[in-house]
Amino acid sequence: MGSRRNFLEKLTVSAVGLPLLYHSNPLFAASEAPYQGPVLKVAIMGLGSYGTRVAEAMKDCKRAKLVGVISGTPSKIKDWQAKYDIPKKNCYNYENFDAIKDNKDIDAVYVITPNGLHKDQSIRVAKAGKHVICEKPMAVNADEAQEMVDACKAAKVHLLIGYRMHYEPKTVEVIKMRQNGEFGKVKFFQGQSGFTIGDPSQWRLNKELAGGGAMMDIGIYSINGARYMLGEEPIWVTAQETKTDPIKFKEGVDETIQFQLGFPSGAVANCLSTYNMSHLDRFFMTGSEGWVEMQPSTGYGPIKGRTHKGELNQSHTTHQTLQMDGMSQLIFEGVQPIVPLDGEEGLKDMKIIDAIYEAAETGEKVAISL
């Protein structure tokens, strides 16, 4: 009888607690009260594989909506119109997209074209009075990035860079742990970013379009990761380049670069960027009181990680969905992510990349001033 009475008492308490659980749990609250606030109306420029990934992710956005496209391929525009229900009046090509200036149905343009095109296209979007979202790296060097920052300031529009990891839940948790001192004095970061690239004719291996090689595409993850994991800005860099296939990786297109960053606190980062080794997507950081390892650390799928306290178990949501909803909240409400993703943030990474290339070429330690 005692066991049965205890069971009924627990059941009653649980039932009483259900309304509280329902109203306090954000998952229940989300289903109970659909989002009614402003929605960022976005046109995607560049309808390649990553543009498609963003478009698919935006189907689940509550604060952002895909409403337009800009492409140099008429057949792609037609396919996207049908697939994403995009009106013809919101479809443009690379010659006429300045006309978005008069289109009130578009708030922002997400530039997802080859790196070498980012500067001119982003500046044209800004001059048309639309917010600019630009995929990383934001340009091919720091000078171009500065031009973009200046143009968007002059046009009084936002310039945001596609740093999806700044919204990724496990990444955010690690940054919070570091901010709360849970790792103690952080001393060392290691970033490994690489894969074996395929088709030698693709734009990523074209110096004019890519601005470089692996560093511009995958190495930037370790650069940005070192900065947000350590919570500091680097003050010097050394770097070494290795090239085993000069036919595939022509002059100015890096295959593999190892680089080391020094920080004001004395912390150091040791990183690898490569197009010639696969299964490299790992961050490790250690401090006086603890450590964290993330692998995969920046891939599109679920991020996995563990610390001295155990596994990171935050739930996975498609990164681009979180990014686009977060950017909408930033633009309309001024809500900033835990790490900035504005043009100035992208400019810092470009300055570091410039310094890495200089260090690899000269063999000297290069000072960094951000």
Task: Say yes or no to pLDDT of 178 above 50.
Answer: yes
Average pLDDT value for the chain: 93
Active-site residue list: 136, 221
Percent of the chain with pLDDT over 70: 91
Task: Say yes or no to pLDDT of 16 above 60.
Answer: no
Domains of the chain: 40-163 (3.40.50.720), 165-367 (3.30.360.10)
Query: Do 267 and 186 meet the contact criterion of CB atoms below 8 Å apart?
Result: yes
> Could you report the per-residue pLDDT of 194-219, keeping only the tens digit for each?
999 999 999 999 999 999 999 999 99
Residue 32: pLDDT band with limits 50, 70, 90: low
Task: Say yes or no to pLDDT of 4 above 90.
Answer: no
Task: Say yes or no to pLDDT of 269 above 50.
Answer: yes
Report how far residue 231's alpha carbon sits from residue 234's, in angstroms, rounded to the nearest whole number.
10
Q: Would you give the distance in Å from CA 23 to the centre of its chain?
A: 33
State mean pLDDT over 323-330. 98
> Could you report the per-residue pLDDT of 126-164, keeping only the tens digit for each?
999 999 999 999 999 999 999 999 999 999 999 999 999
Q: Strand 108-111's sheet: what is its strand order?
A: 91-92, 64-70, 40-45, 108-111, 131-134, 159-161
Residue 33: pLDDT band with limits 50, 70, 90: confident
Residue 28: pLDDT band with limits 50, 70, 90: very low
Q: Would you give the distance in Å from CA 101 to the centre of its chain?
A: 27
